[in-house]
Structure 1
Amino acid sequence: MLKQRIITALILAPLALCGFFLLEGGYFALFIGVVVALGAWEWARLAGFESASIRVGYAVVVAVLLFLLYLLPGLAPWLLVAALLWWLTATWLVLTYPESSDHWSSVLCKLVIGLLILLPAWQGLILLKLAPSGNGLILAVMVLVWGADIGAYFSGKAFGKRKLAPKVSPGKSWEGLYGGLVACLLITAAVGIGRGWSVPEIIFALLCAAIVVLVSVVGDLTESMFKRKAGVKDSSNLLPGHGGVLDRIDSLTAAIPVFALLLWAAKDWGFM
């Protein structure tokens, strides 16, 4: 298993880095669109479909919607707001699982939820890429999510006692969450000091970093909740040793649209 993980990582990491940071415009949108479409193919399975044709059909529908969003950029704000409302709802669903599953157990509901997870993530990345220092912003949200994961892993391993969401993901603890949060706040403070931000700017950045980290945890737990309901361990076996695409991007699907919204807020409130 470890050998598979290493080989897969060595192949995918350069491809992902090139796709995220070297591609521009329509090529970037297409690259991210392919990743999202693969995620949609996996989500159809979590929604209850085992038929290959139906899963491919759902992926095609998502791809068509992405193309329409690319042609209609004016829809971006509404899509990001819809994502924010969804992740607030998802927080409640995770905290009240399994009772909450009564509210989203229908196939249609799960397919719609898939759209609320996948489409805004694509849209958020497109907006970040178009912004000044777009690659830096994309790297920033990734570092926040990865920093949270690493901090949570070591903190949870060393101090984890109280389960965060035992009915959804028994391995996660409150101590791990605190460790991930502290790691990201330290990273953010270090960047702010290094770049010469003012005290109000650093405080705002710390608040935004905390929000992004917390919502990334909800993204992770949300996919775990749907996998648990579907009775599967991984979203697919597309990535040997790593599970599926959704298993690798679940935290980012939540963090990216919220990060993009916070950037808009920062501009409106004079922090950028």
Structure 2
Amino acid sequence: MTRTRLLAALVMAPLAIAAVLLLPTPWMAALSAAAFLIGLWEWLKLTDIEDPIARGVLLVVNLLLMVALVWASRSNSGGSLVLLQIMVMIGVGWWCLAALWLRHYDFASNHDGHARIFKLAAATLSVIPAWCALALIHASQPNGNRWLLLALAIVWAADSGAYFAGRRFGRVKLSPRISPNKTVEGMIGGVAAGMVLALVAAPFAGASMKQLPYIAIVAIWTILFSVVGDLFESLLKRHVGVKDSSHLIPGHGGVLDRIDSILAALPVFALGKLLFGF
């Protein structure tokens, strides 16, 4: 499985990096919207919505919300990012609530209508703000594409660091009922890997030495929230008794399995970037 996982990553990573660095923001936003909506499709299945027509309608509703945000952001001067910034703040607020949800495993764990409503709301509050954060970071000047790559690379490094540290040193379970394989040692390894990557690669994005302490602060919160995103998707899968959101990507599961950490991390990074001005 590790070999398959590695081979798939070697294919996906260069494509993702090339897209981030080479595509203009409108095209990057469109491509990421497609990926996020595929993840949303898988999320809707985890909420016990088996009817493809019902899932399709909900998917279109979220797509129209993305379109509405873009349309409402137009101005005579070319465009405004205010709505995207508001959505980013909403996203950070939502993930704070999601962290509390993780402490109450049984909340919305049944299969009735009320549980679906909460999980459907969670889907929109996860996907739309993350997409807005991605577009906001990529559109920032200067070097928005490099800042977005840095944000993604922090999450990727943390994920890899947690995986290998957990396999080598893992003893204490992080959240055994939600994700039995995740350990405290793995999380510490992920934080260390993500922080090292952030501090080493930040100058590539244009950061000055004076900005590195602020970037370190944002990086550690980005990593911690990425763990929340990962655990929250694991919670959804536990509630319906599945291991992966789908089998679309060999060795990795579904698209949602690959972007769950990113959904939570991007709004935090974008907000930190706005607050500290780097």
TM over 0.5: yes
Change (3 A) 1:212 1:233: same
Any conservation in 1 of the 2:46–2:236 contact (CA below 8 Å)? yes
Distance, in Å, in 1 between the alignment partners of 2:139 and 2:199 is 25
Any conservation in 1 of the 2:17–2:149 contact (CA below 8 Å)? no
- Give the CA deviation at 1:186: 2.4
> In the TM superposition, what are the counterparts of 1:118-133 in structure 2 within 5 Å?
118-131=127-140, 132-133=142-143
Distance, in Å, in 2 between the alignment partners of 1:84 and 1:60 is 24
Change (3 A) 1:19 1:57: farther
Change (3 A) 1:3 1:217: closer
Count of aligned residue pairs for this structure pair: 266
Change (3 A) 1:25 1:186: closer
Alignment identity in percent? Answer: 38
> In the TM superposition, what are the counterparts of 1:167-186 in structure 2 within 5 Å?
167-186=177-196
- Give the CA deviation at 1:49: 0.7
Q: Secondary structure at the match of 1:144?
A: helix
- Give the CA deviation at 1:98: 3.1
Any conservation in 2 of the 1:40–1:58 contact (CA below 8 Å)? no
Q: 1:85 pairs with 93, 96, 100, which one?
A: 93
Q: Once the two structures are superposed, what CA deviation does each residue of 1:149-176 show, in whole Å capped at 9, x if it has no partner?
A: 1221222122211110111000001111
Match of 1:48?
48
Q: 1:246 pairs with 240, 248, 256, which one?
A: 256
Any conservation in 2 of the 1:148–1:179 contact (CA below 8 Å)? yes
Any conservation in 1 of the 2:21–2:146 contact (CA below 8 Å)? no
Change (3 A) 1:63 1:220: same
Any conservation in 2 of the 1:80–1:120 contact (CA below 8 Å)? yes
Change (3 A) 1:160 1:4: closer
Distance, in Å, in 2 between the alignment partners of 1:6 and 1:148 is 16
Match of 2:199?
189
Q: Secondary structure at the match of 1:164?
A: strand
Change (3 A) 1:109 1:15: same
Distance, in Å, in 1 between the alignment partners of 2:251 and 2:159 is 18
Q: Secondary structure at the match of 2:226?
A: helix
**TM-score, scaled to structure 2:** 0.87
Greater shift, 39-48 or 89-98, is seen at: 89-98
Unaligned ranges ≥5, structure 1: none
Match of 2:77?
none
1:148 aligns with 2:158: yes
Match of 1:75?
83
**TM-score, scaled to structure 1:** 0.89
Distance, in Å, in 1 between the alignment partners of 2:131 and 2:84 is 10
Distance, in Å, in 2 between the alignment partners of 1:115 and 1:157 is 33
- Give the CA deviation at 1:190: 3.3
Q: Secondary structure at the match of 2:209?
A: coil
Match of 1:230?
240
Distance, in Å, in 2 between the alignment partners of 1:32 and 1:9 is 17
Unaligned ranges ≥5, structure 2: 74-81
Letter in 2 for 1:45: K
- Give the CA deviation at 1:26: 2.6
